[in-house]
Structure 1
Amino acid sequence: MMIKEKLSADKVLLLLYVVLKPFYFFPSGNPQIADFIMLVLITYSFLFRLGRINRRLGFFLFLTLLFLYDIMMVNGIWAIALGGEMDVFSSTKWYLYNGAVMLALVILFRRNPQEYVKWVFLATATSLLVQAFILVSGLSPDSDEFRQSLFFNNPNQLGYFGLLCMGICLLCARFVSVKTIPLFIAIGTAFSIIAASLSKAAIISAVGMYLVFLLLSIKERTGLFWMNLLCVLVSSFTVFFIYLYTNENVLSDASIYTQIEERMVSLGEDSDDNLAARGYDRIANHPEYILFGAGEGMYERFNSSISLELHSTLANLFFSYGVMGTVLFILVMYGAVRGHRLVAWYPLAFQILYGLTHNGIRETFFWIMLALYFVTAEINTRQIKNGGDLLEKNLTNMRN
């Protein structure tokens, strides 16, 4: 894919952030190198690119700020009520940060939506290729482990990263002109990374997302179905075979394919494959928190099978911030996707599916996806008013 647009400082910062995001050099819960780069981009967007706020952006901004205010209020009140326990308030910073990322990118992308969405695709595909190279070269600290984490803190983070990258690439490709082969290679590379993580939730969600994409390819991308399938299979198997034959421990013990099969066959049988083991039981055990929320942190307060956070995006929001916080978050998501045809929601839907067993709301790429939904909905609506559907024009370009 050729990028002919002028290379600006904000694009360089965005590329650096996306490529460096998977590298966790500091302890979990602390800002990483990529986050400091994003802070510069946030500052730049709000100071120099804010511009005029129309009604749609203003309403989306209002919903986001209201959601963030609810997070601060609930965690702040509980921190005071529990005797100044700041552990309950500490998670607030990640909601504020991710909300700022989403809004800053919306502001930035609205200047030239198609150009920036195309740039996000390029940055995401580049990041996937970098991680695939690390995987096959054995450069990661855990290269001898069966479940790969690369430079993340745990394998589930790697799997979720791959899933989000796949979703972002598929979303971008619906609304900007993306060459077919780079798109399918990006999907195959994402599959390889997800499979190496052996995250059951990520594998199931990725397969489901790709199947929906294949079905849409039959309907919308006439002539691309078999090229799609071939490129994805070739790119994913290439990464796998290189990984298989460069990792001596995998060769001597079990192939990655056997591990995937064992993980999927044991679905529902492992100790954490039930609702109680994911922390859902605390909702039933503590109905008093349903309305206002219990805040996040000090999980030993609760009667639950686990003493950690609730391993679910929506369930954690519901228990931690109550009905109001959950409704506000759903409204933020709806505010982002509003204006899209229902069929375009599927990349986000499979992120939510993954989030049924993992709390993925603190992953910044999730909020970047919401920013992309908001911007692509806006430009698609604008294009339709001018006499054409942006998606249909892009599909025509892909066929050609």
Structure 2
Amino acid sequence: MAKAKLSLDKVLLFLYVLLKPFYFFPSGNPQIADFVMMLLIAYTFLFQLKWLERKYRFFVVITLLFLYDILLVNGIWAIALGGVMEVFESTKWYLYNGAVMLTIIVLGQRDPRGYAKWLFWAVACSLAVQTLALLFGLAPGEHDFRQALFFNNPNQLGYYGLLCLGICLFCARFFPVKSLYLFLVIGCSLSVIAASLSKAAILSAVLMYLVFLFVSSKERTGLFWQNALCVLALFFLLFCVSLYTNENVLHDATIYTQVKERMETLGEDSDDNLASRGYDRIANHPQYVFFGAGEGQYERFESTITLELHSTIANLFFSYGIVGTLLFLLLLYAGVRGHRLYSWYPLFFQIVYGLTHNGIRETFFWILLALYCVTAGLSLGSIKNGGDLHGKNLANLRN
């Protein structure tokens, strides 16, 4: 019976991850994957809920305080503005994502490595499906300058690719995975990010990849040199093709030229400044700094834009004030504590992306944070002896 229950929650989690990129309804509404996740949440809390280990309780308490603050701020503003429920609408997503985090912790505490491995392969399969759709032009809007695949806009695709990259690089630290498979996952995630032409996602992904190389070299896993050889082999192949066909293959590659054109305009587009991201409303309305202004009814504010503030941290600060922001930062700390500083980078670059986009409602972000929490007891041990490590992967550095 226990095996059947374990199988069911993993199947539901896999289906959720696989269906996550398929948006059939307008943004802001639950998608098909969210209904699968709600089944998993219900199943977990009805049949799998057990007493949490002591090491997870601080994280859970901060999560509940953070959710309570959001409920309080949005609830008070909904009443103050005459019962406008638009201000209260965003609360459902925080509650939903909070429930997802707690679900991952409840399920993952039994076998942290096993859940990290399962999520790695679930995300890898999801990325493979999206990459194949991209290569074969199976998604709507295949001729658009910026690809969205099955999402509603390209930025969602870019953030999805960035989160998948972060989840896989983090999970690969906890179980043996062949370098080839890891590089294929990295390649797929970078491909969908490049297709989205999201400047923030591209920059964050490149920086995350460079830090991954640095960490790999420091931990002497062999991944750094294997990766360097792969990159050199790729450029050598392109050189040979160009030499014998008299064609500039790299220059003629559509995604390459699109990314090049997009990045050359960095800082020049109309939305490449703080005011166009909504930061100006913080300076224009300092009275909301402590308690927060809530989310919604954005026409109340004097700002360059009339939409939500396009920044995760800035939106939290303006919407939920100093208290809400401090609780969020404390929640991040509660999740990553127990891990070495340099292992924070997959989560850190999601925050970097969030400087110009509001990614707080994206469930993969909260799943990544829950993974940090549930694997905190598996932090890397010190390396006393150098040399090759069996399997050439980060998991072999574990105690």
Would you say same fold, with TM above 0.5? yes
- My pick for the range that moved more, 162-171 or 58-67, is 58-67
- The corresponding residue for 1:29 is 28
CA distance 1:60–1:302, shift in 2 (3 Å): same
Q: Which runs of 5+ in 1 are unaligned?
A: 239-252
Are residue 90 (structure 1) and residue 89 (structure 2) matched? Answer: yes
Cα drift, residue 222 of structure 1? 4.2
Look up the SS of the partner of 1:175 in the other structure.
coil
Give, in whole Å, the separation in 2 of the partners of 1:220 and 1:26: 44
The equivalent residue for 1:9 is 8
* Superposed CA offset, 1:368-394 (max 9, x none): 00011011112338xx6xxx88xx9x9
Q: Compute the displacement of 1:395 (Å).
A: 6.2
| Cα offset, 1:85, TM superposition | 0.5
CA distance in 2, matches of 1:234, 1:72: 54
Q: What is aligned with 1:131?
A: 130
Decide whether the 8 Å contact of 1:184 with 1:232 is kept in 2: no
Report if aligned partners of 1:45, 1:105 keep a CA contact under 8 Å in 2.
Answer: no
Distance (Å, rounded) in 2 between the aligned partners of 1:200 and 1:233: 25
RMSD (Å), alpha carbons = 2.5
Superposed displacement of residue 175, structure 1: 2.0
**Is residue 2:49 matched to residue 1:50?**
yes
Pairwise CA distance, 1:114: 0.8
2:248 is aligned to none
Alignment of 1:1-400 (within 5 A): 8-231=7-230, 255-380=254-379, 396-398=390-392
Superposition TM-score, scaled by structure 2 size: 0.89
Distance in 2 (alpha carbons) for counterparts of 1:268 and 1:341: 34
Structure 1 288/232 Cα, relative in aligned 2: closer, same or farther at 3 Å?
A: farther
Distance apart, 1:207 and its partner CA: 0.2
Q: Which runs of 5+ in 2 are unaligned?
A: 238-251
Q: Cα distance 1:350–1:109, how it changes in 2: closer, same or farther (>3 A)?
A: same
Contact 2:221 2:392 in 1 (8 A): no
What's the TM-score, normalizing by structure 1? 0.89
Residue identity opposite 2:92 in structure 1? K
253-262 vs 139-148, which deviates more? 253-262
Distance 1:214 1:6, change over 3 A: farther
What residue number does 1:244 align with? none
- Asked if the contact 2:193/2:201 (under 8 Å) is kept, the reply is yes
Return the offset for 1:173.
0.9
How many aligned positions are there? Answer: 375
Q: Deviations over 1:334-357 (max 9, x none)?
A: 111010000000011100000000
Give the letter aligned to residue 34 of structure 2: D
In 2, the alpha carbon distance for the partners of 1:234 and 1:362 equals 40
Instruction: After TM superposition, give the deviation of residue 217 of structure 1 in Å.
Output: 1.6
Please state how far the C-alpha of 1:262 moved relative to its aligned partner. 1.3
Letter in 2 for 1:89: F
SS at match of 2:208: helix
Does the 8 Å contact 1:220/1:395 carry over to 2?
no
8 Å CA contact retained: 1:184, 1:231: no
Q: Secondary structure at the match of 1:16?
A: helix
% of aligned pairs identical?
Answer: 69
Q: 1:69 to 1:6 in 2, by over 3 A?
A: closer
The separation in 2 between residues aligned to 1:258 and 1:40, in whole angstroms, is 43
Deviation at 1:259, TM superposition (A): 1.4
